[in-house]
Chain A
Amino acid sequence: MNDGFLTIDSVTVRYDHYVAISKISTKLALGKFHVIMGPNGGGKTTLIKAIAGLVAYEGRIEMDGLDMKKYLKKHPIGYLAQRGAQFQSFPLTVYQVVEMGRYRFKESRMVRKEHVMRYLQEVKMTSLAKRPISELSGGQQQRVLIARALATESKLMIMDEPLTGMDPRSQSKFYEMIERIKQEHSLTIIMSSHDIGFTTAYAENVFCINKHLVPHSEAAKLLKEPEIRKLYGPNIHLVEHHHLSSGEEEDV
């Protein structure tokens, strides 16, 4: 499966008369970590929702040669939406949130519990299993949602700006965890992000959209300003900074 591609072929999404993305075509190698970049309103979330089958689209999306709509009927995908307000007030525990990922599986309560605890273990959250998700920090909530995505046993994980609101240390830990679970589960990961620095350090492929696909080459070249200006406009300037790895102590 990892030799195949997720093919996006001339995909257009309209909300009534508003065109959110137009004729986007690209091929994403399975088993890799892909990042979608682009300005706010550029269509990143819309493209992610189209891949996840959550919005209607024109064009074609194929997973390893199989039409995505047919693929989704048989295989759930791991999906992390932008965090919404419901996480702040809904009285579900961490365990119950991860349990959602097991919905399709016909299994006994005991077997389900084993799976849920195993995936919580993978994101180092077993000790918080009984805590309401609303009481966790943003970074901890994202780890729970990753455990939920893993619980679907999908080979494709899609994440919509999962790093929003995280400090640099948490972002660094997040990327390291993503890298680890990608290897352990042979995952294909598609993520949208605004963070150019971390993205270019960790992603194996970056593609940029601003309603249309913006031509690009390798991730590292994104750091050159002309490429960035294509996306974010002429007034953008890059400032270099050092990323802490999760083991490093922060210099205050």
Chain B
Amino acid sequence: MFEFLSLTFMQHALLGGELIAVVAGIVGPILLFRKMSFTSVGISHGAFAGIALGILIGVSPMWAAIAFAMGIGLLIGFVSKTGKISEDATIGTFFAFFMALGIFLIDISKGYHVDVMGYLFGNLLAISSSDVYFAAIVLLITVFWYLFRGRATVYSTFDEDFSRIVGIPVDVDYYFFMLVVSLVTIIAVMFVGVVLASSIMIAPSAASKMLSKKFSNVVLFSILFGMVAVFGGIAFSFYTNIPSGPSVVFFITAIFAISLGIKWSRNFVKS
């Protein structure tokens, strides 16, 4: 039944996908409670412009995307903080621009054959061992951040004014968080593409939020749901020969729908 696990490219896909599920499960709930769900959309579309720039100037598209994503993460944060507008409004303004910039840069990259669809929708089955190493490094950075600044970031998400009063460096923590979100988004882009990255970042957290009233459990379920969706999606894609990225997104959305059903049932029983 699990013969696909013996194939090296499937092992890479599963390992890389599960690593993304873990890091997305850690940062996703904070994005959700800060009402910044759209952030990963903005960063992933910005990363597309970075990929295009990398192709144009002849440097690794992925390194260019990482630099772009981190810059855009900080830019979204800076514009939102200093302009006193929500992150979602800032992203709504920028993301179409970065997408247009990406298309423009790819168009002028004459002489290159560019797989735009590959970048937009990703290919989990094309993950290399170096991609997995990179995802493992992002996991280490994310866990390190969560251990040292996670509690303070949760506090400032809950009550920013009180957090400032007890001495939490709210603004510094915010920018660190944006950098971590940028890194997590970029590996999601590498694996499932620009368009589908936000699904793996947010949907598991949204599903777990409906089922738990403790923050630690929201994070735990978010990781678990992401991991189940990645495993199920990749296996389903192997046996049905459908693209792996969309398959994972189908599973994530199914988990979200089941959580919603459970939430509705609970509300019905209460009433």
Contact = CB atoms under 8 A, between A and B. Distances in A.
A, B bound: yes
Nearest to A15: B84
B162 A148 contact: yes
Given A52-B161, A90-B158, A103-B152, A134 B166 contact: no
Given A54-B161, A81-B159, A86-B159, A104 B213 contact: no
Given A90-B157, A103-B168, A135-B213, 7 more contacts: A54-B161, A86-B159, A91-B214, A91-B218, A103-B167, A104-B166, A104-B167
Interface of A: 49, 52-54, 72, 76-77, 79, 81, 84, 86, 89-93, 96-97, 100-101, 103-104, 132, 134-135, 148, 152
Interface residues of B, number: 22
B161 A81 contact: yes
A92 B167 contact: no
Interface in B204-227: 209, 212-215, 217-218
Contacts of A135: 213
Nearest to B217: A91
Contacts of A91: 209, 212-215, 217-218
Contacts of B164: 53-54
Nearest to A151: B166
A49 B162 CA distance: 11
Contacts of A53: 164-165
Contacts of A54: 161, 164-165
Contacts of A97: 158
B165 A77 contact: yes
A94 to B, nearest CB: 11
26 contacts: A49-B161, A53-B164, A54-B161, A54-B164, A76-B165, A76-B166, A76-B167, A79-B161, A79-B162, A90-B33, A90-B158, A90-B215, A91-B213, A91-B215, A91-B218, A92-B154, A92-B215, A96-B215, A100-B158, A100-B163, A100-B166, A103-B152, A104-B166, A132-B213, A132-B214, A148-B162
Nearest to A84: B159
B213 A134 contact: yes
A14 B92 CA distance: 29
Nearest to A77: B165
B94 interface: no
Contacts of A84: 159
B57 to A, nearest CB: 41
B165 A52 contact: yes
A89 B209 CA distance: 10
Interface string B143-172: 000000000101101110111111110000
B142 to A, nearest CB: 20
A54 B164 CA distance: 8
